[in-house]
């Protein structure tokens, strides 16, 4: 049996205070969500209020903070708490808005859902009550893009287990054919090929439509890979006939439900956290505070403490508990207001540093003038941790004369040129994008050729790196960009 030993050890640990944790969380919140976060804090803390204080209150006695936990628990020295010169009352309020701020609500429209639009159409067809139940079940398995998400056999089992309805797959298939006649054309398809064929069957039976239908029925895989020459040869079509058939297909909607649900979808609205005005070479930065209401510490709770402090007797147990609660809420309100102020200061500090590092871009708007910049570059300049810079950059937007941009987009790795100059990968991506945009779509530029073009311009870059940048730009490979 091992003997028990007792030893004295020294450890150095670093822990974040509740105020630091609160600040880190607020830094991550974009301005669009800040108002909701402030409202949540106001609901949780009655000592925190929305609005501006009266002039007479601003001239009142200073309000401070008692840092002694022992005093709070025993004799509650309210005199020190109320008269601390280190915390004047003007620090217990914050105005997040400028004098010219306007409050504008963003209107939105709402209508019946996509499934409700389809369900209404059941009554437009001759179906008995049992068939209508089957049709509603099928509609319930159609997603917002208009596709049927369950196989017929699986839906037959669902009906048997959930509703006690036993039917043959052929019967449900027949009702599915009825649903596939609903608008928008193509709804109820089980895959893209069926979706396109359903739409083609609704069109007038012209020669080009018939050719397009044959392509979808017999050569869909080849069509999806853009092997147009092979399809043309096997179908015996002329170049003009092939082009007309392809045009018929490209004019179809691969997501028939998207147009019907566009009005119901919640489209995220980007609210910029910063606004930048460029006047020749002068940059004027401002912080958007429109979504952040003015805050103050409640005078009611402060007056309550003053009233008890004026009493000549020692507070009883119930009053002590009340005082503990009031002091806790007052401290929490001050911490929150301090965190909001610190958030504003940190955001402006980081953004000003980004403006300095990327001044050439912000003055001209030319993406090729973006310099290589990583989080560490900003962190070293402002004296903050890299994680803090990351919290600011990942969720904040700036409104510029060149568009509303995510701060993260200004960060990029560096790449060396033949002359040894360090350039931003954003510059290389811009050149790639321009080359692909100006290419002959009948003969798209391959990744190998793109690498050659960049090397000819002095950029040391491999083909696999070109492929990586192309994918990051959301551009498909050359074969998929080909147009007949």
Rounded-to-integer distance, Cα 379 and Cα 373, Å: 11
**345 or 106, higher pLDDT:** 345
Average the pLDDT over each of 127-136, 290-299, 328-337 and give the range with the smallest value.
290-299
Q: What angle do helix axes 425-437 and 463-472 make, rounded to 10 degrees?
A: 80
Token duo for residue 320: 């002590």
Say what percent of the chain tops pLDDT 90.
25
Rounded-to-integer distance, Cα 456 and Cα 448, Å: 12
Average the pLDDT over each of 135-149, 300-314, 425-439 and give the range with the smallest value.
300-314
Rounded-to-integer distance, Cα 414 and Cα 420, Å: 11
Average the pLDDT over each of 16-25, 298-307, 377-386, 460-469 and give the range with the smallest value.
16-25
Which band of pLDDT confidence, cut at 50, 70 and 90, is reported for residue 26? confident
Q: Assess whether 303 and 372 both reside in one domain.
A: yes
Last residue of a domain, one of 231, 263, 295: 263
Q: Assess whether 373 and 353 both reside in one domain.
A: yes
**What DSSP letter does each residue of 42-58 carry, written as one string?**
HHH-TTEEESPPPHHHH
Contact 92/297 with Cβ under 8 angstroms? yes
Rounded-to-integer distance, Cα 287 and Cα 469, Å: 33
Which band of pLDDT confidence, cut at 50, 70 and 90, is reported for residue 68? very low
pTM of the model: 0.54
Q: What is the pLDDT of residues 421-454, one digit of tens each?
A: 666 777 788 888 888 888 888 888 888 888 888 8
* Chain mean pLDDT for the chain: 79
| pLDDT score recorded for residue 331 | 83
Contact 176/138 with Cβ under 8 angstroms? yes
Q: Assess whether 257 and 324 both reside in one domain.
A: no
Is 51's pLDDT higher than 80?
no
Helix (H) or strand (E) holding 124: none
* 391 occurs within a structural domain: no
CB atoms within 10 A of CB 105: 5
Q: Assess whether 310 and 377 both reside in one domain.
A: yes
* 12 occurs within a structural domain: no
Query: Residue 110: helix, strand or coil by DSSP?
Result: coil
What stretches of 180-299 adopt beta strand conformation (E)? 274-279, 282-287, 295-297
Contact 281/22 with Cβ under 8 angstroms? no
* 398 occurs within a structural domain: no
| pLDDT score recorded for residue 350 | 92
Contact 130/136 with Cβ under 8 angstroms? no
| pLDDT score recorded for residue 83 | 46
Average the pLDDT over each of 5-19, 266-280, 295-309, 333-347 and give the range with the smallest value.
5-19
Q: Assess whether 224 and 241 both reside in one domain.
A: yes
* 271 occurs within a structural domain: no
* 141 occurs within a structural domain: yes
Strands 274-279 and 397-400: parallel
HEC states along 375-409?
Answer: HHHHHHHHCCCHHHHHHHHHHCEEEECCEEEEHHH
Look at the chain and report how many structural domains it folds into. Answer: 4
Rounded-to-integer distance, Cα 437 and Cα 38, Å: 45
Last residue of a domain, one of 147, 182, 217: 182
Residue 295 pairs with which residues in a beta bridge? Answer: 50, 94
Say what percent of the chain tops pLDDT 70.
77
Q: Assess whether 366 and 312 both reside in one domain.
A: yes
Measure the N-to-C terminal CA separation of the chain; round to a whole number of Å.
83
Which band of pLDDT confidence, cut at 50, 70 and 90, is reported for residue 36? confident
Integer CA distances (angstroms), 335 to 41, 42, 69, in order: 11, 13, 17
Most confident segment among 194-208, 285-299, 469-483: 194-208
Last residue of a domain, one of 263, 296, 325: 263
Instruction: Report cis status (omega within 30 of 0) of the bond before 184.
Output: yes
Q: What angle do helix axes 317-357 and 386-395 make, rounded to 10 degrees?
A: 80
Place of tokens 């000549």: 312
Q: Assess whether 22 and 87 both reside in one domain.
A: yes
Q: Assess whether 24 and 64 both reside in one domain.
A: yes
| pLDDT score recorded for residue 80 | 46
Q: Assess whether 132 and 93 both reside in one domain.
A: no
* 402 occurs within a structural domain: no
Tell me the CATH number at 455: 1.10.10.60
Tell me the mean pLDDT in the region 296-306. Answer: 77
Which of these, 350, 339, 446, lies nearest to 396 by C-alpha position?
350
**What DSSP letter does each residue of 293-356 carry, written as one string?**
--EEE-HHHHHHHHHHHH-SS---HHHHHHHHHHHHHHHHHHHHHHHHHHHHHHHHHHHHHHHH
Is 277's pLDDT higher than 70?
yes
* 273 occurs within a structural domain: no
Range(s) of the domain holding residue 218: 191-263
Q: Assess whether 80 and 165 both reside in one domain.
A: no
Which band of pLDDT confidence, cut at 50, 70 and 90, is reported for residue 208? very high
HEC states along 268-295?
Answer: CCCCCCEEEEEECCEEEEEECCCCCCCE
Q: Assess whether 79 and 166 both reside in one domain.
A: no
Average the pLDDT over each of 374-378, 407-411, 427-431 and give the range with the smallest value.
427-431
What's the maximum distance between 2 C-alpha atoms anywhere in the chain? 106
Q: Assess whether 209 and 228 both reside in one domain.
A: yes
Rounded-to-integer distance, Cα 344 and Cα 339, Å: 9
Rounded-to-integer distance, Cα 70 and Cα 66, Å: 10
* 476 occurs within a structural domain: yes
Contact 430/368 with Cβ under 8 angstroms? yes
């Amino acid at each position: 049996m091992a003997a028990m030993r007792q030893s004295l050890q020294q450890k150095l640990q670093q822990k974040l205070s509740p105020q630091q944790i609160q600040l880190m969380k607020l830094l991550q919140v974009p301005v669009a969500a800040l108002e909701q976060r402030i409202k949540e804090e106001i609901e949780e803390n009655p000592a925190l209020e929305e609005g501006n204080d009266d002039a007479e209150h601003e001239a009142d006695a200073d309000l401070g903070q008692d840092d002694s936990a022992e005093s709070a628990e025993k004799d509650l020295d309210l005199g020190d708490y109320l008269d601390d010169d280190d915390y004047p009352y003007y620090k217990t309020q914050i105005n997040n808005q400028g004098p010219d701020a306007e409050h504008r609500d963003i209107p939105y429209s709402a209508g019946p859902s996509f499934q409700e639009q389809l369900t209404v159409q059941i009554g437009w067809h001759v179906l008995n009550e049992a068939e209508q139940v089957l049709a509603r079940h099928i509609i319930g398995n159609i997603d917002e893009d208009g596709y049927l998400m369950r196989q017929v056999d699986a839906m037959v089992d669902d009906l048997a287990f959930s509703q006690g309805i036993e039917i043959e797959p052929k019967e449900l298939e027949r009702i599915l054919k009825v649903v596939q006649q609903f608008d928008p054309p193509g709804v109820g398809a089980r895959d893209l090929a069926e979706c396109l064929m359903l739409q083609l069957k609704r069109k007038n039976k012209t020669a080009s439509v018939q050719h397009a239908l044959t392509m979808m029925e017999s050569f869909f895989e080849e069509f999806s890979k853009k092997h147009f020459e092979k399809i043309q040869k096997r179908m015996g079509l002329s170049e003009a006939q092939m082009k007309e058939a392809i045009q018929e297909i490209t004019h179809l909607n691969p997501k028939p439900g998207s147009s019907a649900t566009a009005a119901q979808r919640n489209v995220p609205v980007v609210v910029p956290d910063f606004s930048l005005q460029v006047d020749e070479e002068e940059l004027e930065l401002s912080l958007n505070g429109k979504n952040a209401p003015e805050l103050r510490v409640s005078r009611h709770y402060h007056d309550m403490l003053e009233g008890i402090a004026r009493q000549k007797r020692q507070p009883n147990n119930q009053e002590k508990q009340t005082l503990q609660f009031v002091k806790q809420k007052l401290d929490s309100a001050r911490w929150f207001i301090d965190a909001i102020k610190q958030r504003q200061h940190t955001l402006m500090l980081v953004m000003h540093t980004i403006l300095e590092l990327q001044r050439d871009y912000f003055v001209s708007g030319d993406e090729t003038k973006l310099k290589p910049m990583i989080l560490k570059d900003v962190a070293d300049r402002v004296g903050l941790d890299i994680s803090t810079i990351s919290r600011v950059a990942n969720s904040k937007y700036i409104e510029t004369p060149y568009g509303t941009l995510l701060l993260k987009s200004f960060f990029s790795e560096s790449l060396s040129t033949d002359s040894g100059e360090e350039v931003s990968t954003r510059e290389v991506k811009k050149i790639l994008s321009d080359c692909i945009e100006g290419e002959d779509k009948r003969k798209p530029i391959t990744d190998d050729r793109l690498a050659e073009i960049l090397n000819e311009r002095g950029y040391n870059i491999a083909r696999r790196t070109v492929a990586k940048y192309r994918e990051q730009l959301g551009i498909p490979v050359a074969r998929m960009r080909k147009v007949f």
